[in-house]
Amino acid sequence: MNAFPTVALPDGTAVPALGQGTWHMGENASSAAAEASALRLGLDLGLTLIDTAEMYGSGGAERVVAEAIAGRRDTVFLVSKVLPSNASARGTKTACEQSLRRLRTDRIDLYLLHWIGSIPFEETIAGFEALRTAGKIRHWGVSNFDVSDMEKLVKMPSGAAAATNQVLYNLEERGIEYDLLPWCAARRIPVMAYTPLGLAGRLLRSPALASVAARHDVTPAAVALAFLLARPGVIVIPKAARAEHVRTNAAAASLRLEAEDIARIEAAHPPPRRKKPLAIL
């Protein structure tokens, strides 16, 4: 098994820098078994961080994850998310307990607010802290927060306990590199990159990625993931429902891009030169 890089949460807990996403899993009962099988293969290959959410497949993705981790829960770092409409102090507790039942576990390792809603942060934090005290979650964090949101969050009572911020980040969407990524890095708050391979396969058709991939005898997807993994404090969570894609993703952990590779990628997919609105899917 390949040795995978890790990223430290603010309290020092080491988690895999490369994990598995589950967005769009659990939406069709006929594909659930294959999806669970793909996740199990990922676990076998060292991709032991799995990210899911109550929203995905209206709970179906959590049920797929439950099948995948059955009998090996203690080897998995499990992430799930609460919808903003459920993120009151009482609603967060109820939503978490429902997720726990679907996941067939007694704890979630990292529980995130999926995006900003109308419920005040203070209520959500109170719910998270109560869940942590009860042992139902180990850490909590947020998703789709920009710098201004993070600044408000960390000033609130217990707000500095936020363990991560999960945002859209890939070579087509590098806006967070201008301000959000350095802000989080300065405070040792890891960033989780969702949709790291872009949308609709457009990124994977990049001539620059194809050229670098050919030099290393890997796929363009592995190159795109390796580029993000090279960033300090970044956790990458690509989704793969097929065995060949899982193996491609896992290969990224051992790929080391050279200066020539980085230059070629940067020329085709340049970093931001100014502040951009946070991209959200």
Active centre residues (catalytic): 56
Burial class (CB in 10 A: 0-12, 13-18, 19+), 157: exposed
- The letter for the amino acid at 12 is G
Residues 92, 133: Cα–Cα separation, whole Å: 14
How many other C-beta atoms can be found within 10 angstroms of the C-beta atom of residue 240?
A: 24
Sequence-ordered list of residues with C-beta below 8 angstroms from that of 152, at least 6 positions apart, any chain = 121, 159
Coil, helix or strand at residue 168: strand
DSSP state of 46: T
Single out the residue of 249, 268, 144, 262 nearest to residue 202, CA to CA: 268
